[in-house]
Amino acid sequence: MDEEFLLLNPGPVPLSRDVRDVMSEPMVSHRSADFEETYARLQDGLRYVFERSSPTGEPTAAGGTPLALMGTATLGMEAAIASLTTEDSRVVTLENGKFGRRFSRIARRYASVDTVTAEWGESPDIEEVRAAVDDRTDVVAMVHNETSTGLLNPVAEVGEIAAEHDARFVVDGVTSIGGDAFYLDEWGVDIAVTDAQKALAAPPGLSAIYIADGAEGHLDSGGPPFYADLEWYSRKARDHQTPFTSAVPLVRGMGVAVEEIEAEGMPDRIARHRRQARAIRAAVDAMGLELFPTVKPPTRVSNTVTAASLPTTVEADEFFAGMDARNVSIAGGQGPLDGDIFRVSNMGNLSAEDIRRGVGAIAGALNDAGHGVDKDAALAAADAELAP
């Protein structure tokens, strides 16, 4: 293997040299002025990402509170649900993949849950959502970009239904925020959750949430687990602190990562992610493969994770061995999709050449596994989309 390892998994994603370097700086106390300055810079960067996630760079929120949590996005999901509910609350969740199912599993620990389901990779039925949500509903929770299947779910339409019934709206934007458009106010999102290791291109171990101004009054400090108390996190953040010991190196890394996003600019970053996703989809089509998800508007395909079906003639282990031989890592299917699909991430700070190399590796691995594809045609299809 002469080429460097290329990570095209849907998280963790590659880190820039500056992010890696800042994490090796000398340790400081998490209660020091140095750390407070670091956390303040991180808050500023997170505010930019959350509030400017539009193709034009226009504001997507009039105000709210960005918070960094000392745990991955599952902590953020749990903190959001637990801080907005009691055992008497009613939550409606949407499931059409692994992470929608995770929202349901979390919510069942805290409240009564009604679930609107669709097969993994299929679009949720908006009319079923409309029937499930009523004036008794306290919280509606869903995933925007379903990482397990490569679907971009209809947050705008569901948010409108939640608003009609004055329900709080919680959205997992883990693999969209920082890489695609996310309209906090327009979609009526009360709490948005994202993860460091995805489109933010930061080290694993942290997550971030955004609490809309109108949602803070609904937070209950008596309901959530001690470590997941958003009201407490919010209070401490006013002093650029977290309630407990902070992961200082990770906070530093995440701070640099969001500053790199601001330097690129969200409009250019969104355009780049969409361009790269089109290139991967075009290459998949040129190889004669099929995208896995079944898209029914207003659901769309993801712009940060592409899921494609493996040909039935290909053994998954043999295909992924071919990827390993080329020093390129992509992901397989999760749960019931294990062995049936592969998933390619274009999240973070990948270059056009990284995408080309990934496409070439997929074509080569398929050929090695006995499924002949035209590598040159796949690369040509990708190149046609990669040109700005």
Stated as kind and residue range, the H or E segment containing 213 is none
What are the two backbone dihedrals, phi and then psi, of residue 331, each rounded to the nearest 5 degrees?
A: -110, 150
Pairing of strands 145-146, 305-309: unpaired
Residue 11's φ and ψ, nearest 5 degrees, are 100, 130
- Calculate the average pLDDT of the chain: 96
Could you tell me the two tokens for 70? 């000392």
Mean pLDDT throughout 85-99?
Answer: 95
**HSE toward the beta carbon, residue 150, CA cutoff 13 A:** 28
CA separation for the pair 68, 47 (Å, rounded): 11
Length of the chain (residues): 388
Among 314, 306, 264, 261, smallest CA distance to 284 is for 306
Nearest-CA neighbor of 142 among 185, 189, 108, 110? 189
Give the range among 14-18, 148-152, 238-242 with minimum mean pLDDT.
238-242
Task: Give pLDDT, residue 28.
Answer: 93
- So what's the pLDDT on residue 223? 73
pLDDT greater than 60 at residue 1: no
Of 114 and 222, which is predicted with more confidence? 114
pTM of the model: 0.95
pLDDT band at 125 (very low <50, low <70, confident <90, very high): very high
> Sorting pLDDT into bands at 50, 70 and 90, what band is 181?
very high
pLDDT tens for residues 244-289? 999 999 999 999 999 999 999 999 999 999 999 999 999 999 999 9
pLDDT at position 221, please?
65
Least confident of 210-219, 264-273, 349-358: 210-219
Model confidence at 216, pLDDT cuts 50, 70, 90, reads confident
DSSP letter for each residue of 63-112: -EEEEEESS-HHHHHHHHHHHH--TT-EEEEEESSHHHHHHHHHHTTTSE
Res 33: pLDDT: 93
Q: What is the rounded radius of gyration, in angstroms, for the C-alpha atoms of the chain?
A: 21
Q: Which helix (H) or strand (E) holds 113?
A: strand 112-117
Strand pairing category for 168-172 and 191-195: parallel
Among residues of the chain, what percentage have pLDDT more than 70? 99
Tokens 């948010």 -> residue: 159
Residue with tokens 């009201």: 231
Quickly count helices (H) and strands (E) in the chain: 12, 15
Statement: residue 222 has pLDDT above 80: no
Q: What per-residue confidence (pLDDT) applies to 23?
A: 97
Please give the domain boundaries of the chain with CATH numbers for all domains.
6-12+266-386 (3.90.1150.10), 17-264 (3.40.640.10)
* Structure confidence by residue, pLDDT tens digits, 19-69: 999 999 999 999 999 999 999 999 999 999 999 999 999 999 988 999 999
Please provide the DSSP assignment of 344-364 as one string.
Answer: EE--SS--HHHHHHHHHHHHH
Other residues' Cβ atoms within 10 Å of the Cβ of residue 5: 9
| Mean pLDDT of all residues in 338-347 | 97
- Give the Cα separation of 269 and 265 in Å (integer): 6
